[in-house]
Amino acid sequence: MTKETLRKHIHKTVDKINDTAVLEAVYTLLDRASQNNEDSYEISDEDMKIIEERKARYLSGKEKGMTLKEFNKRIQKKYSK
C-alpha cells in the first residue's frame, strides 16, 4: 500500500470511531510519530557548520569522497574485531 492509500484508510477508520479513549490513544500515537518523523529532523548549527566545511573541502578538491562500497569496507574493517 502506498503512503497516500494508507493515509486515506486511516482517515476513514478514525472517522468511524466514537470512543473518546480510543481516539485519544490514536492521537497520542500519531502525534508522537509525527514528532519523530525524519522529515522533521533539525540539524544543529554546529552540525551544519561541519557539513558546510566538509562540503567546501570536497568541492575545492582538498578532500576526496568515497563510494558506498569503500565506505562499507572501511566500517567493516574498523568495527569487526
Q: Do residues 51 and 66 share a domain?
A: yes
| 29: containing domain | 3-40
Q: Identify the pLDDT of residue 37.
A: 66
Q: What is the DSSP string of the chain?
A: --HHHHHHHHHHHHHH---HHHHHHHHHHHHHHHHT-GGG----HHHHHHHHHHHHHHHHTSS----HHHHHHHHHHHH--
Q: pLDDT tens digits, residue range 5-57? A: 999 999 999 999 998 888 889 898 888 887 776 665 678 899 999 999 999 99
Q: How far apart are CA 36 and CA 44, in angstroms?
A: 16
Distance, CA of 34 to CA of 10 (rounded, Å): 14
Compute the residue count for the chain. 81
pTM over 0.85: no
One domain for residues 10 and 36? yes
The total number of structural domains that make up the chain: 2
Residues 32 and 8 in one domain: yes
Which of the four pLDDT bands, split at 50, 70 and 90, describes residue 64?
Answer: confident
12 and 27, same domain (yes or no): yes
- pLDDT at position 30 is 87
